[in-house]
Amino acid sequence: MRRPSNFAFSTYDSFINEVQDDASISWRKRKKHFFILSHSGKPIYSRYGDEHKLAGFSATLQAIISFVENGGDRVNLIRAGKHQVVFLVKGPIYLVCISCTEEPYMSLRGQLELLYNQMILILTRSVNRCFEKNAKFDMTPLLGGTDVVFSSLIHSFSWNPATFLHAYTCLPLAYAIRQSSGAILQDVADSGVLFAILMCKHKVISLVGAQKASLHPDDMLLLSNFVMSSESFRTSESFSPICLPRFNPMAFLYAYVHYLDGDTYLTLLTTSSDAFYHLKDCRIRVENVLLKSNVLGEVQRSMVDGGMRIEDLPDDRGSRSGAVSSHLGQPGHATYSSERFDEAFLGVGGPAGLWHFIYRSISLDQYVSSEFSSPINSRRQQKRLYRSYQKIYASMHEEGIGPHKTLFKRDDNYVLLCWVTPDFELYAVFDPLADKALAIKTCNRVCQWIKDVENEIFLLGASPFSWWTDPGNTPLPEFAEISL
Amino acid sequence: MPSRRRTLLKVIILGDSGVGKTSLMNQYVNKKFSNQYKATIGADFLTKEVQFEDRLFTLQIWDTAGQERFQSLGVAFYRGADCCVLVYDVNSMKSFENLNNWREEFLIQASPSDPENFPFVVLGNKVDIDGGNSRVVSEKKARAWCASKGNIPYFETSAKEGTNVEEAFQCIAKNALKSGEEEEIYLPDTLDVGASSQPRTSGCEC
Amino acid sequence: MGCASSVADRNSGRTASLNPDNGGAVDPKNLKVKLVLLGDSGVGKSCIVLRFVRGQFDPTSKVTVGASFLSQTIALQDSTTVKFEIWDTAGQERYAALAPLYYRGAAVAVVVYDITSPESFAKAQYWVKELQKHGSPDIVMALVGNKADLHEKREVTTQDGIDCAEKNGMFFIETSAKTADNINQLFEEIAKRLPRPSAA
């Protein structure tokens, strides 16, 4: 039998138990759930289960939001035992996340923001007008066929650092290769294209914006998620209205999308609704140049070779031509030697117990993370590591704390070392038994290494070196130590 | 498959405390009746799927608390309702007289676009009690009131015996559906050629 | 409110958008035409196009986003060739308001429904009306009942299709992208009906 979902609950259990019969599916067993509903309590999207079967639950959520709103307040978070219920109100659209994953509130809220903006990318914020005219408006038909876009985004919340770093990552490529693809994209952008983006999966090969137009990393994340999760883009070239929420949430742009090979796709964005044939010509020009300069071959090779491996961290400044050399940053090696990186390659961890790192350049809006290496081999370990980064990132970015922060944290699983400066942020993970002084020294080496290979791992702008603060001259400051 | 649209209809049930709102809902949704009175706190929500003219609908029923201390549920609560059900107890004159207040309260709070034609349904409940001997509101009187408010459909029900409950909710669904017919057309804007493309805005809230 | 620009767009009959550039010179032996497919989501528009252009059929449904562009050239018996530049539009409701972008200036419109879905037939009639109001005045229109292989689930009779097509001066055919039944015939028939530029 169905029991009513009562609004007045005292604990999370009663809250959840009251609605358990609302839907036959057992979404409550899931660790994390996302809902989108309208301000009248009508369901719009549900990660698990048929949103219509969850109509009672979505009414409950609206009642909670409205009840608090009536008191002139706003509900952001309900904590109940292990569970957090996070709310985000965006005009007539309400987004809710229920989670027992222990992710920080800031992270979950950020995920709801991305979910909302993914919806705006598909519909623009003009959809609000429908609610203004008619509060009963049912939005679900407008999102027909987009479930896969949302589920793929939600999945990326558990593996893609871009979702919390608000930065994008590049595919490692020889400088000359990236330059030549950048040059042809620039050429195209000068002919009236707003943005020209060449990506391989979620990694950027090159990216060019028309004068003054800049692309927000979140928009890139949402755009690439949309393109990759919509199968039809792979079938043939297409021309579709798309909104970039951080660029202009009110209006559509037009996106010409074309896959150059299985994973590599070119997206050309324009404001002009009749630019298709022009963009098609642009694509042919781009494709010809990429083929001639073997960019696509290099892209494939880079996908196989991977990026920075902690095992390859050079010994010390100046001695990187030694035996333990990296396939990245080798002077005289325009292309990488691939024999060392066969598919069976399994790392053994880096020096001084270094297991993994993420480096984010603030001025470039880009990040680079090392490849997973032993002992971070299994999906479970990778996910745990991801969550640790997410958590430490949130705590480093809590409001009211200035830049230039450092943190040294030791727990059962890792030693975490963070270094946040106005120019960059470094998050490094070590063996839980790693020596502190050695770990700090290793972080300096990582920074130096990144400087040495920056041409290959980042997409550098017109003044590629202006952003760089040499960590060699700025030794790491004292670390606050937190041991758990 | 082509889109088989399922429409969700939001139905709000209003009326004095103890007139049997929750019982009617339980009878309709679960085919169950309990003599025990349990006051609703705040609101309860139930859903039921109905088929009507070859189409499937989900009724999202908002059962509200009749007690005064919960009455100020506010604008947000009634927002976007497709139908409002007013319930009174045929054995209580007060509950009948209050129908007017409930109706007005709803129209003020929900402020529907066309208040004259907003679909209400009135239910006179508890017709089974005492074989109808304790009845104080006559059917004639109730119908007269309904007629004066723009011909509101009227049903006499017994949540206990299930009398007319199904019929009443069929009518509710039908009326709710009617009010939803005028669909909003989604007309997104597009950026025109040469329109000023602002560099990265920080997602301002409008 | 806010919709003024879109409505104006629809009525202004701007012809520039998404039309292949014929470069002014029209070769009567080698025609190039813009064709648009319209219809409810899931009726098989993309399947029809992929069957026609690539001879493929993929039973897994892939929702089209915006519109896909494909082209295919066919040769007719009178030794003329017709190059179809095909806009396969998404059937989702959110794109309905933007459909004029794709059908504006089209020489051919193929309106597709699913013979197992009366709803999709109703939607097809909506598109026919829309085209009559806002499409090119001399547009060649075809009404296509797809999924003809699912005859045991049929809910729209052939006669209903014929009647609707006749009433609106359209060419009617039932197809199956799955079995390839009538797919080539559809495009050949369209090619025959195209107005020929006078050889003068």
**Residues A260, A123 share a domain:** no
Token digits for A373? 């290496």
**CATH number at B7-184:** 3.40.50.300
Q: CB neighbours (10 Å) of residue A50?
A: 14
**Residues A325, A432 share a domain:** yes
Identify whether A295 is part of a domain. yes
Interface check for B2 against chain A (CB to CB < 8 A): the answer is no
Mutate to test the interface with C, among A148, A243, A268, A274 (most CBs of C within 10 A): A274
Kindly give, in sequence order, each residue whose CB lies less than 8 Å from that of residue A146, ignoring residues fewer than 6 positions away.
A122, C63
Interface check for A127 against chain B (CB to CB < 8 A): the answer is yes
**Residues A239, A140 share a domain:** no
Token digits for A67? 């009840």
Closest chain C CA to residue A239 = C67
| Contact flag A214-B200 (C-beta cutoff 8 Å) | yes
Please report the pLDDT score of residue A12 as a whole number. Answer: 46
Residues of chain B with pLDDT under 50: 1-3, 193-206
**Residues A361, A452 share a domain:** yes
Rounded to an integer, what is the distance from CA B144 to the centroid of its chain?
A: 21
Please report the pLDDT score of residue A402 as a whole number. Answer: 59
Residue A457 confidence (pLDDT) above 70: yes
Please report the pLDDT score of residue A211 as a whole number. Answer: 75
Interface check for C138 against chain A (CB to CB < 8 A): the answer is no
Judged on CB neighbours under 10 Å (0-12, 13-18, 19+), B205 is: exposed
Query: Which among A22, A55, A133 has the least Cβ separation from residue B8?
Result: A55
CA dihedral C105, C108, C109, C115 (to 10 degrees): -170
Residue A11 bridge partners (DSSP)? none
Interface check for B38 against chain C (CB to CB < 8 A): the answer is no
**Residues A249, A148 share a domain:** no
Q: How far apart are CA B104 and CA A163, in angstroms?
A: 48
Please report the pLDDT score of residue A27 as a whole number. Answer: 60
The CATH number given to whatever domain includes residue A49 is 3.30.450.70
Question: Pick from A303, A328, A349: which residue ends a domain?
Answer: A303
**Residues A359, A417 share a domain:** yes
Residue A250 confidence (pLDDT) above 60: yes
Closest chain B CA to residue C90 = B2
**Residues A329, A296 share a domain:** no
Query: Which among B46, B60, B193 has the least Cβ separation from residue A41?
Result: B60
- pTM as predicted: 0.87
What rounded mean pLDDT belongs to chain A? 84
Q: Assess contact for C1 and B187: CB atoms under 8 A.
A: no
Identify whether A463 is part of a domain. no
Residue B12 bridge partners (DSSP)? B62, B84
**Residues A348, A268 share a domain:** no
Homologous superfamily (CATH) for C30-193: P-loop containing nucleotide triphosphate hydrolases (3.40.50.300)
Cβ within 8 Å of C, B 53-72 = none
Question: Pick from A254, A274, A303: which residue ends a domain?
Answer: A303
Rounded to an integer, what is the distance from CA A148 to the centroid of its chain?
A: 17
Mutate to test the interface with B, among C93, C95, C121 (most CBs of B within 10 A): C93
Lowest mean pLDDT among A30-34, A440-444, C40-44: A30-34
* Region A123-134 average pLDDT: 91
How far off is chain A from C67, nearest CA to CA, in Å? 6
**Residues A257, A356 share a domain:** no
| Contact flag C97-B188 (C-beta cutoff 8 Å) | yes
Most confident residue range from A64-68, A257-261, B76-80: A257-261
- pLDDT tier, A121 (very low <50, low <70, confident <90, very high otherwise): very high
Lowest mean pLDDT among A50-64, A131-145, A432-446, B75-89: A50-64
**Residues A298, A219 share a domain:** yes
The CATH number given to whatever domain includes residue A258 is 3.30.450.30
How far off is chain A from C40, nearest CA to CA, in Å? 11
Residue A467 confidence (pLDDT) above 60: no
| Contact flag A241-B29 (C-beta cutoff 8 Å) | no
- Which chain A residues are Cβ-neighbours of B70 within 8 angstroms? none
User: How big is the A-C interface in CB pairs under 8 Å?
Assistant: 79
Q: Assess contact for A241 and B190: CB atoms under 8 A.
A: yes
pLDDT tens track for A139-158: 988 998 999 999 999 999 99
Please report the pLDDT score of residue A181 as a whole number. Answer: 94
Lowest mean pLDDT among A18-22, A113-117, A266-270, B143-147: A18-22
Identify whether A469 is part of a domain. no
Q: Assess contact for A226 and A242: CB atoms under 8 A.
A: yes
Q: How far apart are CA C42 and CA C40, in angstroms?
A: 6
Per-residue tens of pLDDT for chain C, all 200 residues: 333 333 334 333 333 446 655 544 578 889 999 999 999 999 999 999 999 999 999 988 789 999 999 999 999 888 899 999 999 999 998 998 889 999 999 999 999 999 999 999 999 999 999 999 999 999 999 999 999 999 999 999 999 999 999 999 999 999 999 999 999 999 999 999 998 876 54
Lowest mean pLDDT among A121-125, A171-175, B41-45, B53-57: B41-45
The CATH number given to whatever domain includes residue A415 is 3.30.450
| Contact flag C70-A277 (C-beta cutoff 8 Å) | no
Identify whether A444 is part of a domain. yes
pLDDT tens track for A333-365: 434 444 444 333 444 577 889 999 999 999 999
| Contact flag A246-B203 (C-beta cutoff 8 Å) | yes
The domain segmentation of chain B, as residue ranges, is 7-184
Residue A90 confidence (pLDDT) above 60: yes
- pLDDT tier, A133 (very low <50, low <70, confident <90, very high otherwise): confident
Structural domain range at position A445: 307-457
Q: How far apart are CA A369 and CA C143, in angstroms?
A: 54
Interface check for C95 against chain A (CB to CB < 8 A): the answer is yes
pLDDT tens track for A417-438: 999 988 999 999 999 999 999 9
**Residues A106, A120 share a domain:** yes
* Region A293-307 average pLDDT: 94
More confident residue, C22 or A217: A217
pLDDT tens track for C59-101: 887 899 999 999 999 998 888 999 999 999 999 989 988 899 9
Identify whether A185 is part of a domain. yes
More confident residue, A228 or B79: A228
Token digits for A36? 């989108």
Ordered DSSP codes for A64-116:
HHHHHHHTT----EEEETTEEEEEEEETTEEEEEEE-S---HHHHHHHHHHHH
Question: Pick from A111, A136, A159: which residue ends a domain?
Answer: A159
